Amino acid sequence: MQTTIVNARAAALRGATRPLCLSPRLRTYATPVAVKRDEDPQLAGYPQLPYISRQLLPPKGWEDPQMRRNFGDTLHEEEEVLSMWGPDVSPLPPKTALRQFTIATLGFVTFGVVVNYLVPARPAVPREYPYSGLVKELGGLEENKANPEDESDED
């Protein structure tokens, strides 16, 4: 058992001293690989602009600072989504946002459960009215019954 651990540590040290370029798990390139997008046939020669929201651009240095664009600039094919009036760009990654939402939801649920079990029971008996819950005094409507009673209990 002891020799297995020593052999594993020695192998790990040999792997750590190996140059990164010889590592079979890591592949490096001399020049960056540019990924070329295919031409969209529906654009018919319209320039393919990068998919960047205007909300991520710097706020100053534009002829139209509200829309963060210069007059005469070519609009993106999806300008309605990428403009300042489009959907907000989330500053958080989805996993972080989901984790924070889950924590907040669990906090509210925990608070509700704690309050539900810590509130004491009512110390008094609810009020009961005679004559089937004052049906006659409230106009005789069946919807106005509070706590119906039997009239035989009135002895």
User: Alpha-carbon distance 150 to 89, whole Å?
Assistant: 66
In a domain, 16, yes or no: no
3-state secondary structure of 136: coil
In a domain, 23, yes or no: no
Q: How far apart are CA 88 and CA 63, in angstroms?
A: 22
| First-last CA distance in the chain | 90
| Per-residue pLDDT tens over the stretch 33-81 | 565 667 778 888 888 888 888 988 898 999 999 999 999 999 988 889 9
In terms of Cβ atoms closer than 10 Å to its own Cβ (0-12, 13-18, 19+), residue 146 is: middle
Give residue 102's domain range: 90-117
pLDDT value at position 99? Answer: 97
Query: Do 71 and 101 have their domain in common?
Result: no
What are 74's two structure tokens?
Answer: 């070519």
Is residue 57, in this structure, part of any structural domain at all?
Answer: yes
Round the average pLDDT of the chain to a whole number and report it.
Answer: 76
Whether 5 maps to a domain, the answer reads no
Contact criterion met (CB below 8 Å) for 145 and 133: yes
Cα–Cα distance, 69 to 47 (Å, whole number): 17
Residue with tokens 């594993």: 8
97 band by pLDDT with thresholds 50, 70 and 90: very high
Q: What does the pLDDT read at residue 22?
A: 47
Kindly state whether residue 62 falls inside one of the protein's structural domains. yes
3-state secondary structure of 116: helix
Domain count for the chain, please give it: 2
Q: Give the C-alpha separation, 3 to 30, whole Å.
A: 41
Is residue 94 situated within a structural domain?
A: yes
Residue 113 domain flag: yes
Q: Is residue 66 part of a domain?
A: yes
